Amino acid sequence: MELRLDRIPRSVELARAGDEILFSYVDERLLPEELLVRQTGSWEEVVDAIKTLAVRGAPAIGLAGAAALVLWVSRAESLAAIEEVAEKIATARPTAVNLRWGVERVLEAAKAEAATERGPACVADALYALVSEMQEEDERVNREMGSNGAQLLPSGARVLTHCNAGSLATCYYGTALGVVYAAAEQGKIERVYADETRPVGQGARLTTWELARAGVPVTLICDNMAASLMAQGEVDAVVVGADRIAANGDTANKIGTYGVAVLAREHGIPFYVVAPTSTIDPTLPDGSGIVVEQRDPSEVLPRAIDGVEVWNPAFDVTPARYITKIVTERGVFDPADILGE
C-alpha cells in the first residue's frame, strides 16, 4: 500500500469567496459513501452541523464555532447581540472544551474591535485574519504532536485507535492520527486497528476511510473485539484523542475509550492520549466535573421499542491512572504533570 499523505482530507475551513466570507466543511454524516464539501455563510447552519455531527471532533468544532461567530459578527447590530449568539454557539455541544475556547477567542477580538472606531468591514477583516491564524495554528500544532508522539511508537507498530481523531476531527492532519501519519512517514506503522466506535461509527465510517485514503494499512474491528486482539499480542500501543483533559490528567473522550484503557492496562499495552493544549481545562481539578453530552436514543436504537429506554452518553472519562502519557504540542507528559511547563 503506497503512503499518500497528500490525500489527507481538510475538514473545515473559513475562506473568502469574493467579498463574502464562507465556511466550508466536509459533511461527515455522508462519509464514507460520499465526500461532500458544503459551504455556508450562516452561523445557524454551522451550529446545526456541529449538533448533528456533520462537523465533529474537538479541534474541528472549536474552529467551526470560531468561524460561526465571524459569520454572525458582520450581521450583528450590537455587542450584546454578538455575545448572545456566541453563547448559543459555545453551548451547541457541552463536552469538548475546544468549542468554547474557539468562540471566546473570536469574542474577545470582537470586543477589542468594538472599542475602536473601525468600520464593520475592517472588523470582519480582523476577525477573518484571526480565524485564518487559528487554522494554521491547528495544523502546526497537530504536526508537532505528530512528531512528539511518533517517537513513542516502536518500528513495525500495530496501533489501536478509538473514534476518529484524524484530519476529519481537526482542521488538518489530526491528533491521534497525526501521530500515526508522522510515524508512517518514518516507516514505523505496520497497521492501525480502528474500533468501529458505536453508536455513530466514527471509527467504522471515518477513521477507516481517512486512513485508507492516505495509504495507511487499516483493519476495522467491532468495539467488543479489542480485548481478544490485545490478548493475541496484536496491539503494540493504543493512541486516542481527547475532548477535555482535567488538571489531574483525567481525560474525556468518545464513549468506549475508558474500556479500551482498562484493557490496555490489563495487557501491558501503553495507552497514549494525544491532544492540543486547547483541550486542557485547568479549571477542573479532575474528571468528575466534566459534563458528558447525552445524545438522542435513536443513535442507539433507530426504531424505538415500547418500554425500552436507551442510555446514550457520547463520552466517558478515563482516569489518569490508566493513561501512560499525554502528548501535546509542547511535549510528552505524565498525566499528573499535564499543567507543568
Q: From the CB of 175, what's the least distance to ligand MRU, in Å?
A: 5
Site for ligand MRU in 11-70 (CB under 6 A): 53, 56-59
Closest to ligand MRU by CB, 109 vs 163, is 163
CB nearer ligand MRU, residue 241 or residue 249: 241
188: DSSP letter: -
- Shortest CB 275 distance to ligand MRU, Å: 7
123, 165, 247, 269: which one contacts ligand MRU (CB under 6 A)? Answer: 165
Q: Give, for 26, the enclosing helix (H) or strand (E).
A: strand 20-26
Binding of ligand MRU by 105 (CB under 6 A)? no
* Min dist. Cβ of residue 242 to ligand MRU (A): 6
Distances 247 to 99, 244, 281, 323 between C-alpha atoms, Å: 18, 10, 6, 14
Of the chain, the end-to-end C-alpha distance in Å amounts to: 40
Return the number of the residue (125 or 139) whose C-beta is nearest ligand MRU.
139
Q: Which residue is nearest to ligand MRU (CB)?
A: 241
If one asks whether residue 146 binds ligand MRU (CB under 6 A), the answer comes out as no
Cell readout for 75 is: 450581521
Q: Which residues pair with 318 in a beta bridge?
A: 251
Give how far Cα 265 sits from Cα of 122, 244, 258, 324, 326, Å: 54, 21, 11, 9, 15
Restricted to residues 182-211, the positions that interact with ligand MRU (CB under 6 A) are 202
User: Footprint of ligand MRU on residues 106-125 (CB under 6 A)?
Assistant: none
Judged by CB under 6 A, the residue of 148, 164, 318, 324 near ligand MRU is 164
Site membership for ligand MRU, residue 253 (CB under 6 A): yes
Least separation in angstroms between residue 326's CB and ligand MRU is: 13
**Number of residues engaging ligand MRU in binding (CB under 6 A):** 18
Is position 218 an interface residue for ligand MRU (rule: CB under 6 A)? no
- What's the min distance (Å) between Cβ of 170 and ligand MRU? 6
Q: Which residue has the cell 472599542?
A: 115
d(CA 326, CA 250): 10
Looking up cell 486542557 gives: 280
Query: What cell does 235 get?
Result: 496491539
Return the residue matching grid coordinates 452541523.
49
Closer residue to ligand MRU, CB minimum distance, 98 or 110: 98
Stretch that binds ligand MRU, among 13-21, 115-123, 158-166, 188-196 (CB under 6 A): 158-166
Catalytic residues: 243
**Contact criterion met (CB below 8 Å) for 152 and 325:** yes
Cis ω before 94 (30° cut-off from 0): no
Minimum distance between the CB of residue 254 and ligand MRU, rounded to whole angstroms?
Answer: 3
Instruction: Tell me how far CA of residue 153 lies from CA of 24, 269, 302, 337, in angstroms.
Output: 34, 11, 39, 21
Residues 6+ apart with CB under 8 A from 254: 162, 163, 197, 202, 240, 243, 314, 315, 316
Residues 6+ apart with CB under 8 A from 180: 159, 161, 174, 189, 192, 211, 216, 239
- Nearest distance from residue 208's CB to ligand MRU, in Å? 15
User: Which residue stretch of 62-70, 105-113, 162-170, 303-311 sits at the interface with ligand MRU (rule: CB under 6 A)?
Assistant: 162-170
Residues in the chain: 341
Q: Is 163 in the site for ligand MRU (CB under 6 A)?
A: yes
Classify strands 20-26 and 12-17 as parallel, antiparallel or unpaired.
Answer: antiparallel
Any bridge partners for residue 218, and if so which?
192
Q: Which stretch binds ligand MRU (CB under 6 A): 75-83, 109-117, 163-171, 304-312?
A: 163-171
Give whichever of 110 and 194 is closer to ligand MRU, judged by the CB atom.
194
In the complex, the residues that contact ligand MRU under the rule CB under 6 A are 53, 56-59, 163-165, 169, 175, 202, 240-243, 253-254, 314
